[in-house]
Amino acid sequence: MRTLFKFLFVLLLVSVVGCGTSSIPKASPEQLAELENLVENKKIFFEAEWAMPLTTNSLNQISNAGLLPPGSTANQINLIGNNNFLKIDGDSVSAYLPYYGERQMGGVYNQSNAGIKFEGVPTDFEISKDDKKNTYSIKFDVNDRSEAFQVNMTLFPNMTASVNINSNERFSIRYQGKAKKAMQQ
């Protein structure tokens, strides 16, 4: 009887592990070429559809009070229809992203922009490719006035992207959205 239970357990374990779907979506050669072109030319325009802040007690209170956009929760805020961007154009970067979360310290008085805003030439700019997942990772640091940002962007073959931003003055936040070729201005 014990042997039968061991056999059934092993069989169940193998079927659960073996029947899982692949988490790596298949990408067409055209999608891969488009993504590679964006990254090689450093012409990337990211528009966030969702903000995913670090959920804190204060953010939960704001959510419970109904102060977040419709369809949003404390850990996932809908940004569709909200003008925002992160742009990589050659050797320069710029961003204007809404920020939901808590400041850890500081901040500038009389600042009309409470979002994440920067423009300039980044430092420690690094691009790496994950050949197994067909994704690109772009990391850089950039400063705006007294605030320093560490930006980590992951680009997927279906032209979606995930952007994580850490700051010396705010809790971290992640954005999900779409990437496309940055247009010349």
Alpha helices in the chain (DSSP H): 2-18, 29-41, 57-64
With vertex at residue 136, the alpha carbon angle to CA 183 and CA 150, rounded to the nearest 5 degrees, is 80
Read off the pTM.
0.81
Distance from C-alpha of 84 to C-alpha of 80, rounded to nearest angstrom: 9
Per-residue pLDDT tens digits for 135-169: 999 999 999 878 999 999 999 999 999 999 999 99
Task: From 164, 160, 137, 162, select the one nearest 150 (Cα to Cα).
Answer: 164
| Domain spans in the chain, listed from the N-terminal domain onward | 28-105+112-181
Could you tell me if 137 and 130 are in contact, meaning their C-beta atoms sit under 8 angstroms apart?
Answer: yes
Residue pLDDT, tens place only, 83-133: 999 999 999 999 999 999 888 766 555 555 578 999 999 999 999 999 999
Cβ(93)–Cβ(83) below 8 Å: no
CATH number for the 28-105+112-181 domain, one of 2.60.40.60, 3.50.30.10, 2.40.128.410, 2.60.40.1180? 2.40.128.410
How many C-beta atoms lie closer than 10 Å to residue 133's C-beta?
15
